Amino acid sequence: MAAIYLKNDLLFITSNKDQTLEDLLTGFALGKIMIKHLINDRIKINGKLVKNKMYLVRYGDIISIDVAYDVDYLPSGKLCQIVYEDELVLIVKKRAGQIIHDDQSDDALDNDVATYFTSKGYRRHIRHIHRLDKETQGLVFFSKLDFFGPYYNQQLAEKKIKREYLAIVKGHFHDCIVDKKIGKDRHVNNKYRLSKSGKTAKTKFTLWKYHNGYSLVHCELFTGRTHQIRVHLHSLGFPIVNDAIYGKADANFQNMGLYAYKLTFFDILKNIMVDVTDDAYDDLNYFKMF
């Protein structure tokens, strides 16, 4: 991997081999449209503006890329709750009932991130890499640079960004793996079900704690289908507490009991794996295990 560092609004990449500029950029998962945009007036090689994607980059050449953009979401006025941040990545905590993205609202998580970026003077677009259901709480991964958005999207698609969840269900749960396809329920809007003609879906469930009639279940996704954990647990007869679609209300807990509590990803600058966890939720105190 080429040496990479960020200074102010410039991204510097030191080429580790002879290659065309297009090949170097494609190596970061950039598509043709973004490459065309960057080579318009944002890329310099050894200090010289380069607009030809077939330019031959030599070993040791220094490529500088202007990564500054105006914040593209309306700030909500509320700061996001930051769990982890480095030069390229921002991981924030989404509250129950909050959506991540909505063009018609200024109360989405993207808008809270816009508030943070504006307060820090960051000239960056807002780019979430994945989403959570509205009632699911927990960690959401943002790329702080447009340049690395396609790279992190590819990492997510290849399961190199690992997402782990905790779920609260009623009853004494037992470890299992569910490998059953999921499709839309044609009779109920925004509801999914097991379906032989649906999309492949696989989830590993592990009991972490049983206490006074309820189980805390660790959930590991092998695929990322809409409502996957919720549908698979419902199919087992263990719907998540306070799940308005697949379960029922439970007065012992405040919110739907599903938490995106851990993200694991590769730090491209430091060449190390990073684990980010957050288990600070009032309802999880029921199990007294943290």
Same domain, 87 and 59: no
Q: CA-CA distance, 265 to 246, in Å (whole number)?
A: 31
Same domain, 48 and 77: no
Same domain, 255 and 167: yes
Same domain, 74 and 62: no
Q: Answer yes or no: is 284 within a domain.
A: no
Residue 2 binned pLDDT confidence (cut-offs 50, 70, 90): confident
Same domain, 168 and 249: yes
Task: Give the tens place of pLDDT for each residue, 49-63.
Answer: 999 999 999 999 999
Task: Give the tens place of pLDDT for each residue, 111-137.
Answer: 999 999 999 999 999 999 999 999 999
Is the model's pLDDT at 290 over the cut of 60? no
Q: Please state the length of the chain.
A: 290
Residue 31 binned pLDDT confidence (cut-offs 50, 70, 90): very high
Query: Is 133 tagged catalytic?
Result: yes
Same domain, 152 and 197: no
Chosen domain end from 13, 35, 66: 66
CATH classification of the domain holding 47: 3.10.290.10
At residue 1, the pLDDT reads 63
Chosen domain end from 143, 158, 173: 158
Same domain, 142 and 88: yes
At residue 104, the pLDDT reads 64
Considering only CA atoms, which of 84, 124, 90, 85 is closest in space to residue 109? 90
At residue 107, the pLDDT reads 82
Q: Answer yes or no: is 172 within a domain.
A: yes
Alpha carbon separation from 239 to 211, 235, 281 (Å, rounded):
17, 8, 19
Consecutive H or E run containing 230: helix 228-235
Residue at token pair 């816009």 = 114
Task: Give the tens place of pLDDT for each residue, 170-212.
Answer: 999 999 999 999 999 988 888 999 999 999 999 999 999 999 9
CATH classification of the domain holding 174: 3.30.2350.10
Chosen domain end from 43, 66, 89: 66
Considering only CA atoms, which of 77, 149, 151 is closest in space to residue 119? 77
Catalytically annotated residue among 61, 110, 112, 133: 133
Task: Give the tens place of pLDDT for each residue, 221-262.
Answer: 999 899 999 999 999 999 999 999 999 999 999 999 999 999
Considering only CA atoms, which of 228, 229, 187, 225 is closest in space to residue 206? 229
Q: Is 174 left (phi over 0), alpha (psi -120 to 50) or beta?
A: beta
Q: CA-CA distance, 255 to 281, in Å (whole number)?
A: 10
In the chain, how many domains are there? 3
Q: Which domain holds residue 22?
A: 3-66
Q: CA-CA distance, 97 to 133, in Å (whole number)?
A: 9
Same domain, 251 and 174: yes
Considering only CA atoms, which of 274, 246, 267 is closest in space to residue 258? 246
Q: CA-CA distance, 123 to 205, in Å (whole number)?
A: 41
